[in-house]
Amino acid sequence: MAKTIMIQGAGSNVGKSMIVAGLARALTHRGLSVAPFKPQNMSNNAAVTVDGGEIGRAQALQARAAGRDPVVDMNPVLLKPETDIGAQVVVQGKRLTTCKARDYARLKPRLMPRVLESFHRLAGTADVVLVEGAGSPAEINLRAGDIANMGFAEAAQVPVVLVGDIDRGGVIAQLVGTHAILPPEDRDRIVAFAINKFRGDASLFDDGLAEIATRTGWASLGVLPWFAEAWRLPAEDVMDIASTKGGPIKIAVPRLGRIANFDDLDPLASEPNVSLEIIEPGRPLPGDAALVLIPGSKSTIGDLQDFRAQGWDVDLAAHVRRGGHVLGVCGGYQMLGREIADPDGIEGHPGTHPGLGLLDVATQMHPRKTLSYTEATYLPTGAPVTGYEIHIGSTQGPDCARAWLEVDGRSVGAARPDQRVRGCYLHGLFASDDFRQQFLAELGAPASGYAHDASVEAALDSLAAHIEANMDVDALIAGAAEIRG
pLDDT tops 70 at residue 191 = yes
Regarding predicted confidence, which is higher, 87 or 457?
Answer: 457
Q: Helix axis angle, 16-29 relative to 452-470, nearest 10°?
A: 90
Residue 125: which pLDDT band, with cuts at 50, 70 and 90?
very high
pLDDT tops 90 at residue 346 = no
C-beta separation of 317 from 332 below 8 A: no
CA 372 to chain centre: 17
| Per-residue pLDDT tens over the stretch 307-323 | 999 999 999 999 999 99
Please provide the DSSP assignment of 330-395 as one string: THHHHHHSSEEEETT-TTSSSEEEE---SSS-EEEEEEEEEEEEEEEEETTTTEEEEEEEEEEEEE
Residue 200: which pLDDT band, with cuts at 50, 70 and 90?
very high
CA trace torsion 8, 11, 17, 20 (10° rounding): -30
DSSP, res 244: B
Could you give the 3-state DSSP secondary structure of residue 200? coil
pLDDT more than 70, % of the chain: 98
pLDDT tops 70 at residue 270 = yes
C-beta separation of 197 from 226 below 8 A: yes
| Per-residue pLDDT tens over the stretch 281-303 | 999 999 999 999 999 998 999 99
Q: What is the distance in angstroms between the CA of the first residue and the CA of the last residue of the chain? A: 10
| Per-residue pLDDT tens over the stretch 417-451 | 999 999 999 999 999 999 999 999 999 999 899 99
Cα Rg of the chain, angstroms: 23
C-beta separation of 167 from 206 below 8 A: no
Which positions are catalytic? 330, 427
| Per-residue pLDDT tens over the stretch 389-401 | 999 999 999 999 9
CB pairs under 8 A, 24+ apart, for 337-340?
337/361, 337/362, 337/363, 337/395, 337/397, 337/423, 338/362, 338/397, 339/363, 340/300, 340/301, 340/304, 340/364, 340/365, 340/393
Q: Check residue 263 and give its pLDDT.
A: 85
Tell me whether strands 160-165 and 190-198 are parallel, antiparallel or unpaired.
parallel
Average pLDDT of span 455-481: 97
| Per-residue pLDDT tens over the stretch 160-185 | 999 999 998 999 999 999 999 999 99
C-beta separation of 84 from 68 below 8 A: no
Cβ neighbours of residue 248 closer than 8 Å, sequence gap 6 or more: 273, 275, 444, 445
Q: What whole-number distance in Å separates Cα of residue 95 and Cα of residue 392?
A: 12
Q: What whole-number distance in Å separates Cα of residue 98 and Cα of residue 63?
A: 27
Q: Check residue 239 and give its pLDDT.
A: 59
Q: What whole-number distance in Å separates Cα of residue 351 and Cα of residue 29?
A: 54
Regarding predicted confidence, which is higher, 264 or 353?
Answer: 353
pLDDT tops 90 at residue 238 = no
Residue 240: which pLDDT band, with cuts at 50, 70 and 90?
low
Distances (CA, A) of 366 to 177, 273, 370: 48, 40, 10
Least Cα distance to 195 among 459, 10, 466, 464 occurs for 10
Q: Check residue 388 and give its pLDDT.
A: 93
On average, the pLDDT of the chain sits at: 94
Burial of 203 (0-12, 13-18, 19+ CB in 10 A): exposed
Tell me whether strands 362-378 and 405-407 are parallel, antiparallel or unpaired.
antiparallel
pLDDT tops 90 at residue 85 = no
Q: What whole-number distance in Å separates Cα of residue 401 and Cα of residue 417?
A: 10
Q: Check residue 367 and give its pLDDT.
A: 86
pLDDT tops 80 at residue 235 = no
